[in-house]
Structure 1
Amino acid sequence: MVLYLRAILTWLGFLFNTTAPHIIRSIARQCILRIRKLGIRPAQSGLQTLLSRLLAYYQRISPKNSHAEQETTYFTAASTIHPGVLAPVNDLSQSSPIQANQLQVQVSQHPAQGSITSIDSRSQSASTTEWDPKRFKPLAPQLCQRYTGRVLVRSDIETKPIPAKKKDFSETPVDGWEGVVHPEGALYFYDATRHVFTDANLRSRRLLKAINHLAYQLRLKASDIIDDSTHLVLELQAKEDACNYYFVQHDKRLLFWLQDFDEPICIYEHVKGVKSDTHIKIALEAQYWMHCELYPSNAPIQPQIATELKHVLLHAHSDFLTSDTSVVPYDLSTLHSMLDLSNNLVEYVGLLTPSSDECVELPAHLMCVLARLMRLFARSKLLNFYGQAGARLNANQSVYEVEESRQKGTFRLRLANVFLWGAPAAQYKFLRNTWVDNILNYPKWYRHINRLNGDWSNVAIFSTVMLAVDVSFLCAPGVISAVAVVIYLSTMCSVSSLVVSILLAVESRGWGTDSAEGAASFMARMIHTQSDVEALAIMYSLPYAYLIWGMFCFVTALGIYVFHSTNTATLVVVGLCWVAATALTLWPAWWGKFVMTPWSVPSRKGGHVKETV
């Protein structure tokens, strides 16, 4: 169809620029009006016959001029009709100004090599064709409203009956646009001629007209920098004469805009200090793969990308296996599943393309898989300053200078560490190594939270036992007032330990242990400053600290009760045993440098800072 159309338009323009009889010029004019009225598809069937008749007639009346025409002929395309429908004009040197919303295109007479070689614009109405930056806002794929701006279906609409003998249930095609269904089920539209995507419902004539006009203006403005590998994505704003947009450059794996992106914090994933071009390129590549995930059809990629993904996963798998502080954001089981997916992708692409130099278009389902995995690891590179002078090589390292002075905590934490038997120090160390620069190391977080839940369950059992022992001690005969007071304190600590353990165990279910995104959201809500990290560490330490205080008070009450005796032999024997038991009890605490916790937090010492960048 495209070849026929180019040939027809070329010869119609040829007839207008010659001294053909009036009847030929009239037929050509009627043909043009017919194409404008019906569009390309309905008029296609009779165009080839009309062309052959016109050529035969003209060769009979003007054989000398049939080969005297120049190699190129000029046409104009009005934005009010389909972008592919071109209307001929007279010699450009004598033509009148092009009407508003028109595009001047130079088309080669050779169909096999025909392409748009020059683009220019003429306008009589500044309100319709002049570039207005206020109507166009740069957009990032991450901010697309596909999942938030859904169209809701009315529940009170009557069910449509199925007509008898109906076999064709396809929707009415939108002129120039193809309806594409995403593997997840979302409907979007694609213009293969102009390489334009949109989520707008173009079955509405109002939206179709608005999208065509906005796409025309953007492509006209970007005519000097776009090529065949450039795609455009449009998202209508609430005010339908304006839109959000971005251009996609597939051969470079990046996005670009015609205006400055003044607020790129969403593209940078809220990472501070993104300055170098190489770092920005990684952020744009992550957004590029997000685009391929949103619009998987008609996304040309190089076949070696599947192999590249496999290499990335192999390295991530081995790094997580051999390092305690790996920056890989996934655990072994997840990495193993990803590796299986990449193996299937490599096998499929290898069968699809015998040559690794040609771009391919994967099926939409496979493209979604490839794009999502590539996006996840591109995002990890962005967060860890991949390829930068201050790259994060260990998950427990901060890339910012201000964080290095907060390794030991404030005076409040050190004071709480004394009264809570050293538990806050261990919890603070865990949180500091897991929540670094507002980035959560989810594998470590998941393991530690599960371990904490087990510890809190054990503490609840021990607290129940201590509570029973304290109550029984109060029932013993001859308990003096001093012993009773200390037992009361022990009972209070046991009850507090039991209650706090239950509360933390219940609340931990909402701490995002089911997904990395939920865990990161919880930490972002809980931690805003360094003081919040310390407060969370102290809170995690309360069940264990209350239990230790309850035991300490019980032992103190027992000591008062025993040493209150006046029997010398009893005092000597019990005193010696008491000293020995106390020494052996404190031995593990001394061995662990007085850090007494029911859990351990393994870590590896990171490197030293050489300089600040």
Structure 2
Amino acid sequence: MIPYTVSRSSTVVQLPADEYPPALKDGCFSPVKQQSFLADKNWTLCVHPQGWVYFYNPSLKVVTDQDIRRPEILAIIEASYAGYPLSDLSEGMEVHLHVQSLKDLQKPQESRDKYSMQTYNLTINHKYCIASSDPLEVTDASALLLGPHRLNRCRRLYWNFLWNHPAHVETPPRAIDDATDALTWFYTDNLISGAKSTVPFSKIECEELSRVIRGLTATSNERSIARTVFLAWLLREVCSYRDAENWGQLTQRESQAARKQKSTPAYTSTQPLSPVAMVVINFIINVLFFGIPHTYRAHVKITSEYRGRLSNVQKTWENYIDRLVREYSHFLLISTVLLSATVGFLAVPDIPEAAQVSATISTFASLGSIIVGVFSIWRHQANTTTADSFTYMHNVQHGPLGLYGHSILLSLPPTLLVWAILTFTLSVVIFVLHGLAETGTWEAASIWAVVGIFIVLLLAVVLALYTFSIIWKFQRRTASMWYRFTSFWTLNTKRKPIPGSDKV
């Protein structure tokens, strides 16, 4: 006979049904004391660790979430299970009853849908840890014939049921073994696949969960309801992951092809750009913006790629924001210093008009870099959740500007800073050269010396910029023009006969 179970605040007490006393002691949860109409109904009130209640009847093998302490609800429950084949349930089986509406139950029996009971009820088999809306699918005989895919789906339904209704049953014996086996594989996959692992838990999370499971094997946790909830939640996530990965359906080659297809990002533009538009965009990016948008475009593409589990998306998004904030902070510092220098330069009396115009442009460029940088830092730091990252990337790829336009906007702070530096440098050069027409020989010599130093420094800066722009790309070493010329000359000299000599 199935033991009768009542839930306490921290333990589960099991009593044989034939030895169950007519009145429960204090501390046991029974609705009979408050609702006399439940007398002789054999219902037990069970409390979930989170605090809410459900009801279980060991005689009928029925579990319900409805409040049967209300007579009208109890009447609906009784009418619902009246047509269910409860007598066909074997030992270790029960039914989770989802009550139909009172309006449907008031209809004549012949006008009801004959499949309504199967649609609104879940049959549970605790022996094999499976559940299904079809009672015939989870019988002891049918449980051994389930395929891997269907078995996984039935197990997920079972663990989801146990996660919500843990108080009236003991923890299944196989729960700890199944959880340990799943975590061992998840840990192994993290070691093998690294950042591309798609398992639901990271390596650190697997270590923490394994440590918790080892603690649950202690004798003090044998009757813990919270242990049942924890293991049911963990195994439900395992079954959900397996269902998403087509567990038990594909061959090794098909599985690898499916994973490769999932990991390959598809960057499709809803409105392909015309060749003329691409020419204009390339001119803007490579000339007006000095190629800076290419860096931000690559950064956005890497951030938008889904690699492994969902937690990696959050980590990638946080790294993206941290990088933008760090770069923009540096640009803000330089722009602020340059703005102060430009304003001070404009305060110098008798500077040429061309220098004034160039310095004014530098001022506006510095202000633009500061404004865009400050606003971008504020907006990016205020949206750091995973949902914000999905919204952000969707709008980037499907917005009117597209990925190219967004990368151009992201590169505005450094680009405006570069223009501010160039125009400020130009204004200083104009101011220096303006003094040639108004000074003597020594003053002109000093000015030309300054110009010469400026040219040398300019060449050094250009060389450094070019070197550090290509140093990150693998360069095939080629012979210099001088080496090619000398080699060609030496080779021809050796082959040319010497006058007056018989040797060729």
> What TM-score do you get using the length of structure 1 for normalisation?
0.54
Q: Which letter maps to 1:289?
A: W
Aligned-pair identity (%)? 14
**Which whole-Å CA distance do the structure 1 matches of 2:243 and 2:205 have between them?**
21
Give 1:186 shift: 1.1
Report whether the alignment pairs 1:426 with 2:295.
no
- Of residues 49, 60, 78, the one that matches 1:212 is 78
**Which whole-Å CA distance do the structure 2 matches of 1:529 and 1:483 have between them?**
37
Q: Any residues of structure 2 matched to 1:102-251 within 5 Å, and which?
A: 171-173=30-32, 174=38, 175-219=41-85, 226-239=89-102, 241=104, 244-251=120-127
Contact 1:210 1:241 in 2 (8 A): no
Alignment correspondent of 2:376:
500
Residue 319 of structure 1 aligns to a residue in which SS? helix
- Of residues 352, 356, 367, the one that matches 1:480 is 356
Give 1:559 shift: 3.7
Alignment correspondent of 1:380:
241
Moved more, 198-207 or 576-585: 576-585
**Which whole-Å CA distance do the structure 2 matches of 1:196 and 1:498 have between them?**
62
Contact 1:457 1:505 in 2 (8 A): no
Contact 1:474 1:487 in 2 (8 A): yes
1:526/1:452 Cα in 2 relative to 1: closer, same or farther (>3 Å)? closer
**Which whole-Å CA distance do the structure 1 matches of 2:172 and 2:463 have between them?**
69
Alignment correspondent of 2:418:
552
Describe the superposition over 1:382-424 as per-residue Cα deviations: whole angstroms up to 9, x where unpaired.
2333344387669985439xx6653899867995976524212
Alignment correspondent of 1:587:
467
Report whether the alignment pairs 1:312 with 2:188.
no
- How well do the aligned residues superpose, as a CA RMSD in angstroms? 4.4
Give 1:343 shift: 1.0
Describe the superposition over 1:21-54 as per-residue Cα deviations: whole angstroms up to 9, x where unpaired.
xxxxxxxxxxxxxxxxxxx99xx99xxxxxxxxx
Give 1:449 shift: 0.4
Describe the superposition over 1:292-331 as per-residue Cα deviations: whole angstroms up to 9, x where unpaired.
1001134466523312211222332343345221113333
Describe the superposition over 1:496-545 as per-residue Cα deviations: whole angstroms up to 9, x where unpaired.
1121112211232xx2xxxxxxx2x4455556688349989779867862
- Of residues 333, 340, 358, the one that matches 2:211 is 340
Contact 2:44 2:56 in 1 (8 A): yes
Report whether the alignment pairs 1:449 with 2:318.
yes
Gapped regions of structure 1 (runs ≥ 5)? 4-39, 46-165, 260-275, 353-361, 512-518, 595-613
Alignment correspondent of 1:96:
none
**Which whole-Å CA distance do the structure 1 matches of 2:199 and 2:73 have between them?**
44
**Which whole-Å CA distance do the structure 1 matches of 2:466 and 2:170 have between them?**
67
Give 1:181 shift: 0.8
1:448/1:239 Cα in 2 relative to 1: closer, same or farther (>3 Å)? same
Alignment correspondent of 1:460:
329
1:278/1:532 Cα in 2 relative to 1: closer, same or farther (>3 Å)? farther
Report whether the alignment pairs 1:368 with 2:368.
no
Q: Which letter maps to 1:581?
A: V
Give 1:372 shift: 0.9
Contact 1:470 1:490 in 2 (8 A): yes
Alignment correspondent of 1:89:
none
**If each structure's helix is expressed as a fraction of its own residues, which one has the higher value?**
2
Q: Which letter maps to 2:342?
A: F
Alignment correspondent of 1:606:
none
Residue 217 of structure 1 aligns to a residue in which SS? coil
Give 1:374 shift: 1.0
**Which whole-Å CA distance do the structure 1 matches of 2:27 and 2:155 have between them?**
41
> What TM-score do you get using the length of structure 2 for normalisation?
0.65
Contact 2:331 2:414 in 1 (8 A): no
1:339/1:484 Cα in 2 relative to 1: closer, same or farther (>3 Å)? same
**Which whole-Å CA distance do the structure 2 matches of 1:373 and 1:540 have between them?**
41
1:167/1:187 Cα in 2 relative to 1: closer, same or farther (>3 Å)? closer
1:551/1:193 Cα in 2 relative to 1: closer, same or farther (>3 Å)? same
Contact 1:254 1:287 in 2 (8 A): yes
1:168/1:2 Cα in 2 relative to 1: closer, same or farther (>3 Å)? closer
- Of residues 331, 334, 338, the one that matches 1:469 is 338
Residue 592 of structure 1 aligns to a residue in which SS? coil
Give 1:370 shift: 0.8
Report whether the alignment pairs 1:288 with 2:161.
no
**Which whole-Å CA distance do the structure 1 matches of 2:391 and 2:331 have between them?**
32
Residue 411 of structure 2 aligns to a residue in which SS? helix
Q: Which letter maps to 1:441?
A: L
Alignment correspondent of 2:440:
none
